[in-house]
Amino acid sequence: MADQQPIVLIVDDEPLGRDSLESLLFNQGYALEFAANGAEALAKAAQVIPDIILLDVMMPDMDGFEVCRRLRDDPVLADVPVVLVTALDDRDSRLAGIEAGADDFVTKPFDRAELRTRVSTITRLNRFRRMLAERSKFEWVVEQAEDGYLITDEAGKIHYANHKARLYLGLPANNETPVEETFHQLIRKQYNAEPQSAWAIWPDESNTKTPRYLVRPESEASQPFWLQVSTLQLNASANPLVTVPWLVQLRDVTDQMAAKTDRWNFHAMLLHKFRTPLIPMVTGLDLLNQYIDDMPREEIRQIVSRALLGADRLQNSIEDVLRFIYLSSEMRVEKDFRMDKFRSLITQICHELEMENVKILLDERLETPDIILNLAGNSIELILRELLQNTKKFHPNHKPAVTVSVSPSRFSPAIVLQVADDGITLSSEQLAQVWTPYYQGEKYFTGESAGMGLGLSVVASTVWNAGGSARIYNQTPGPGVVVELTIPIIHAKQPATA
């Protein structure tokens, strides 16, 4: 609105009268519109919604008083300022104009400087009134919105926050209460900003495709809570009332993240439960197909017995998967994973994945039942399985040399888990995108392009849910990458750190 010229509608049945007002206001920064009678004036006003109408009183068919009354009866045009231009200077004419709804009067012949001043003042005030009305409408809409909305400056000072944003940030419900703390100070009180690489270039998001999240970790009293954060730079010059440049949207995506985690858990469990019993079945049938004519009866019986055992396990696995579909909430069990089980779990997974070249460096101070992680045992297993599978799946010859190291964090009650391989080296773009949900997931299965696998984004989100952190970087020197997870401890006799 501020970039557009104020519109002045001049209504006069006399061409001389229209020309006189045009010469007065020409080249004064106005867009001038004209009407020669009352009916044309009403039609033109509805078309252009002027900022002011200079309306001649003495016109045939429909005089200025009647035009003014009809304008006031129109809900769209009722607030448009009307200045009656009249040769009538008596008291009754002015009272008739006031009763019709006129805002001001100009008596012919008029003072040119005075009329210019009146038009300038009225258009400026009307534009300001309109902007206030538009702002009131905007605030009403955003106050009813399901998402949180903030208006901040570059430094994060909050100039406006709707009801939802105040709820998410723990602010008083009254929007009249000024917010002293910055946006970043407020979110640090209850959220973790993830992934950190995306937040490092705040507030602009044009240079990153990675979504920004605020994660309130799971606690004994509540489930994890996720907000997706988007920003839009406002054009301050387009509205003089808006003096700050950033609109921040806070959207609750907790359900979507939980669904994504359940989907990944389902995929991982499906792969594991189906593959294991299929091995003796396929291997046994292949042996029988090739050598049955030369096999002793007892050996055939043993092969068939193992295949039947595999089939029975497969049947049980299918039943388990069907139960999982309906009871996926069983994945969220009590946090009970003790660190004295960690080494045996990694060894078991490596054996199942047929990975022989895996070195385990586990700080002996952590191998104790006194240390319990803020993740369920099956979540730990799925995370380890996903990370180790990725090292094998994306290694050039599928025989990686892997080092799994676990040490106490130097900064908080937590463990630092690192899984390093000697496989591919990732580009900066791939490193920036690995936490994106299903990043090139389908292409990995079809072999069209390289990447970091379907479940890695959920590995990170699972750790973020627990209040931990996740990062990935290339080995130095290469080749290969390191995935590093910091997983909080919820109960421990904290080991001393070096």
- Kind of pairing, strands 402-408 and 372-373? unpaired
Residue boundaries of the structural domains of the chain? 7-141, 145-252, 258-331, 339-491
DSSP structure string for 168-213: HHT--S-TTS---S-HHHHHHTT-EEESHHHHTT-S--TT--SPEE
Higher pLDDT, 182 or 322: 182
Task: Please determine, looking at this structure, whether the domain spanning 339-491 carries the CATH number 3.40.50.300.
Answer: no
Over residues 122-176, the pLDDT tens digits come to 888 887 777 777 777 777 777 788 899 988 888 888 888 888 999 999 988 776 7
- For residues 372 and 335, is the Cβ–Cβ distance under 8 A? yes
Residue type, 290: Q
Identical fold, 7-141 and 145-252: no
The neighbouring-strand residues paired with 209 are none
Residue 310: band (very low, low, confident or very high) from pLDDT cuts 50, 70, 90: confident
Q: Which residue has the tokens 């080749």?
A: 479
Over residues 170-209, the pLDDT tens digits come to 988 776 777 889 999 999 999 999 998 889 888 877 777 7
- Kind of pairing, strands 52-56 and 148-152? unpaired
Task: Please determine, looking at this structure, whether the domain spanning 7-141 carries the CATH number 3.30.70.20.
Answer: no
Q: Where are the alpha helices (DSSP H) in 292-341?
A: 297-326
Residue 332's pLDDT is: 47
Residue 248's pLDDT is: 92
Question: Which residues lie closer than 8 Å to 181 by C-beta, 6 or more apart?
Answer: none
Instruction: Indicate the range of 84-93, 393-402, 461-470, 489-498 predicted with least confidence.
Output: 489-498
Helix 342-352 and helix 377-393: axis angle, to 10°?
40
- For residues 44 and 33, is the Cβ–Cβ distance under 8 A? yes
Secondary structure of residue 451 in the 3-state scheme: coil
* Residue 229: alpha-carbon gap to chain centroid: 4
Residue 488: band (very low, low, confident or very high) from pLDDT cuts 50, 70, 90: very high
**Mean pLDDT, to the nearest integer, of 263-291?**
80
**CATH number for the domain whose boundaries are 258-331:** 1.10.287
Q: In what order do the strands lie in the sheet with 82-86?
A: 31-35, 7-11, 52-56, 82-86, 104-107
Q: What is the CA radius of gyration of the chain?
A: 36
Q: Is the pLDDT confidence value at 11 over 90?
A: yes
Burial class (CB in 10 A: 0-12, 13-18, 19+), 276: middle
Q: Where are the alpha helices (DSSP H) in 424-465?
A: 428-433, 441-446, 456-465
Q: Is the pLDDT confidence value at 275 over 70?
A: yes
Q: How many helices (H) and strands (E) does the chain have?
A: 15, 17
Over residues 385-435, the pLDDT tens digits come to 889 988 888 888 889 999 999 999 998 899 999 999 999 888 877 787 777
- Kind of pairing, strands 148-152 and 246-252? antiparallel
Residue 250's pLDDT is: 94
Residue type, 387: L
Q: Which two tokens stand for residue 493?
A: 């006799």
Residue 112: band (very low, low, confident or very high) from pLDDT cuts 50, 70, 90: confident
Residue 320: band (very low, low, confident or very high) from pLDDT cuts 50, 70, 90: low
Over residues 217-273, the pLDDT tens digits come to 887 667 789 999 999 887 654 444 444 578 899 999 988 888 777 777 667 767 777
Residue 498: band (very low, low, confident or very high) from pLDDT cuts 50, 70, 90: very low
The C-alpha atoms of residue 280 and residue 323 are separated, in whole angstroms, by 24
Residue 124's pLDDT is: 84
Higher pLDDT, 254 or 319: 254
**Mean pLDDT, to the nearest integer, of 72-85?**
88
CA atoms within 13 A on the CB side of 392: 16
The C-alpha atoms of residue 149 and residue 161 are separated, in whole angstroms, by 6
Question: Which residues lie closer than 8 Å to 361 by C-beta, 6 or more apart?
Answer: 403, 404, 405, 406
Q: Is the pLDDT confidence value at 302 over 50?
A: yes
Over residues 332-347, the pLDDT tens digits come to 444 578 899 999 999 9
* Mean pLDDT of the residues in the chain: 82
Helix 254-291 and helix 297-326: axis angle, to 10°?
170
Over residues 233-244, the pLDDT tens digits come to 876 544 444 445
Sign of the dihedral defined by the CA atoms of residues 127, 130, 132, 138, in that order: negative
The C-alpha atoms of residue 309 and residue 280 are separated, in whole angstroms, by 8
Residue 348: band (very low, low, confident or very high) from pLDDT cuts 50, 70, 90: very high
DSSP H or E stretch at residue 43: helix 38-48
Give me the CATH topology for the region 145-252. Answer: Beta-Lactamase (3.30.450)
- For residues 468 and 486, is the Cβ–Cβ distance under 8 A? yes
**Mean pLDDT, to the nearest integer, of 464-482?**
90
Angle at alpha carbon of residue 375, lines to 193 and 272, rounded to 5°? 110
Angle at alpha carbon of residue 90, lines to 84 and 93, rounded to 5°? 45
Residue 455: band (very low, low, confident or very high) from pLDDT cuts 50, 70, 90: low
Helix 91-100 and helix 64-73: axis angle, to 10°?
20
DSSP H or E stretch at residue 68: helix 64-73
Q: Where are the alpha helices (DSSP H) in 327-376?
A: 342-352
Over residues 434-453, the pLDDT tens digits come to 776 545 433 333 333 333 34
The C-alpha atoms of residue 41 and residue 298 are separated, in whole angstroms, by 105
DSSP H or E stretch at residue 274: helix 254-291
What do you get for the CA distance between the two ends of the chain, in Å?
63
The C-alpha atoms of residue 463 and residue 471 are separated, in whole angstroms, by 11
